[in-house]
A and B are shown apart, each in its own frame.
Chain A
Amino acid sequence: MKGPLLGTLVVGGLAALDATPVAQTLASQPLVTATLLGVLWGDWPTALAVGTVLQILAASTLPIGARTPEDYAVGGVAGAGVALMLASQAPYEHMRQASALVGVMTGMVAATLSVPVLRWQRRANEGLARWCESALRAGRESALSQAQWAAVALAFSLGLASCVVWLALGHWGAPFVERESLRLAGAWHLLQPLWLGFGFAQLLHAFVQRRLERAGVFAASLVGAWLVIVAGSP
């Protein structure tokens, strides 16, 4: 268990880097990080169940305008990590479903509660930027690189520390999840499709953009695919 746990924390730090400070290649999206963690923990179904739901919600969370959006880079790793840790403790199907539900809820709460942390980080970067400009004017050319790498180190540390907190809370809540796993698994059967449908709607809204012909394309592909999948299968 210690290896996957440490690996999860490192993935959390790296996801926090890819989200904004470094490269922004979407490697920090929940489906990507959950897939990585699925390999680390050797539990594919739980990882993808959590990663798919959190991904569809993350996709409709846009980094545009002044609003600081929910941080699904940390939320994705925290959610999948907690789910995989819980599911590894009791190999029953309903425990895996209960863990997936707790993982998705943890991921959304972590993404939401990471916003004030992001704001604090950006305030800290303001001080860094002011220091950098005055150091440059004072003749220290290396100040620019130092400020950049200090900001990168801060982002990585905050991502890693956030995941430590969420995994610790998940570990603390494990007895409750195991005791109530039947109820939680029951809730998962309802909520997983509800969340998927809700997330599909956000993406559909992004694509359709009030153009009815695109809604028609969606409907046609839905019906066509359903016929092929259901009628086409033996």
Chain B
Amino acid sequence: MSRRLNGATLFAIALRANLLQAAWNFERQQGLGWAHALAPALRRLYPERSERLERLAEHTAYFNTQPTLASIALGAAARLEEDRASGAGGDAASMARLKSALGSTLAALGDRLFWLTLRPFAASLGVLLAIAYPQHAWGAIALWCVYAVPHLALRFGGVGWGYAAGPGLLSGAFRERIESAMRWLAVLGCVVLGVALALALAPGGEPRPIAVQCALAGGLGLGLLTAQHARPSPTRWALALGILGLGMAWRNHG
């Protein structure tokens, strides 16, 4: 009798996906978290203990992708394990190929969506609201909601999609919707930054002193120049600016 996964098992996988990077390390990266997340499915598919432990150990091997979209790969892997357990096909090699293909594809898509677009957008919106409403928590609330809601929705929904559609999910409308979302978020981000900079220049309608406006413009110009190169990092540049500013303050105040 072939065993099939149910909704409760898929939900347990999604819940454990929140610990995907608990033991992140250079050698296996998300390997341990991946095996821990898939454990509910393996427990249901392999009642025989030694076979189950063998599968778990196999899944602790190297794996790495963008942590939110990893759910899609977990769902697809659970589906392949289901086929393996029922003898309908699939083996260790095909599982490794599936993980490798999905891992790199989801990383390329997910990094651009979450790290390069949604995260900067959430931060920009948060900073804009923090400047506009300095006496309220709107900035922090907006930053968290704008990122966490889609992040958790994809994390919990992704397992079911991956289980239902498998790798095919990434070739069709899903990928086009993500690409379109990235384009719109980037344009919206430009608008949010324009408004935030205007607010920084003239909070409450009162233009700040010319020295402050020049410092803002100078920082913007320097930032655009340094952003063309990954090293030194923005933090190193900002630290250098801080040390320079402190030196000037000490000299001016004699």
Q: Report if A and B associate in a common complex.
A: yes
Q: Which 5 A-B residue pairs are closest in the complex by CB-CB distance?
A: A201-B223, A197-B219, A233-B205, A221-B194, A59-B123
For A169-197 the 0/1 string (1 means CB < 8 A from B) is 00000000000001110110111011111
State the majority secondary structure of interface residues on A: helix
Q: Which residues of A contact B211 (CB under 8 A)?
A: 189-190
Whether B90 is near chain A, meaning CB under 8 Å from some CB there, is: no
Among the stretches A2-10, A108-116, A157-165, the one at the interface with B is: A108-116
CA distance A105 to B246 in the complex (A): 10
Q: Which residues of B contact A20 (CB under 8 A)?
A: 21, 24
Whether B124 is near chain A, meaning CB under 8 Å from some CB there, is: yes
Whether A226 is near chain B, meaning CB under 8 Å from some CB there, is: yes
Check A141 against B60 for contact (C-beta < 8 Å). Answer: no
State the majority secondary structure of interface residues on B: helix
CA distance A205 to B253 in the complex (A): 36
Q: Which of A137, A191, A225, A230 contacts B241 (CB 8 A)?
A: A191
Check A200 against B223 for contact (C-beta < 8 Å). Answer: yes
Whether A40 is near chain B, meaning CB under 8 Å from some CB there, is: no
Whether B212 is near chain A, meaning CB under 8 Å from some CB there, is: yes
Q: Which residue of A lies closest to B18 (CB)?
A: A23
* CB of B55 to closest CB in A, whole Å: 10
- Quick one: which of B183-217 are within 8 Å of A by CB? 186-187, 189-202, 204-208, 211-213, 215-217
Whether B1 is near chain A, meaning CB under 8 Å from some CB there, is: no
Check B137 against A35 for contact (C-beta < 8 Å). Answer: yes
Q: Which of B27, B228, B237, B239 contacts A129 (CB 8 A)?
A: B27
Q: Which of A22, A104, A108, A187 contacts B18 (CB 8 A)?
A: A22
- Quick one: which of A84-106 are within 8 Å of B by CB? 101, 104-105
Q: Which of B26, B68, B186, B218 contacts A122 (CB 8 A)?
A: B26
Q: Which residue of A lies closest to B66 (CB)?
A: A64
Q: Which residue of B lies closest to A21 (CB)?
A: B22
Check A25 against B120 for contact (C-beta < 8 Å). Answer: no
Check B205 against A232 for contact (C-beta < 8 Å). Answer: yes
Check B238 against A186 for contact (C-beta < 8 Å). Answer: no
Check B235 against A70 for contact (C-beta < 8 Å). Answer: yes
Whether B178 is near chain A, meaning CB under 8 Å from some CB there, is: no
* CB of A201 to closest CB in B, whole Å: 2
CA distance A147 to B222 in the complex (A): 45
Q: Which residue of B lies closest to A182 (CB)?
A: B253
Q: Which of A62, A141, A186, A200 contacts B56 (CB 8 A)?
A: A141
For B50-89 the 0/1 string (1 means CB < 8 A from A) is 1011101100100000011000000000000000000000
Check A141 against B130 for contact (C-beta < 8 Å). Answer: no
Among the stretches B28-36, B97-105, B169-177, the one at the interface with A is: B28-36
CA distance A216 to B189 in the complex (A): 12
CA distance A193 to B196 in the complex (A): 12
Q: Which residues of B contact A22 (CB under 8 A)?
A: 18-19, 22
* CB of B202 to closest CB in A, whole Å: 5
Q: Which of A21, A31, A62 contacts B130 (CB 8 A)?
A: A31
Whether A57 is near chain B, meaning CB under 8 Å from some CB there, is: yes
Q: Which of A62, A141, A217 contacts B190 (CB 8 A)?
A: A217
Check A202 against B223 for contact (C-beta < 8 Å). Answer: yes
CA distance A171 to B139 in the complex (A): 29
Check B126 against A31 for contact (C-beta < 8 Å). Answer: yes
Check A48 against B197 for contact (C-beta < 8 Å). Answer: no
For A133-172 the 0/1 string (1 means CB < 8 A from B) is 1001101010011011111100100000000000000000
Check B139 against A35 for contact (C-beta < 8 Å). Answer: yes
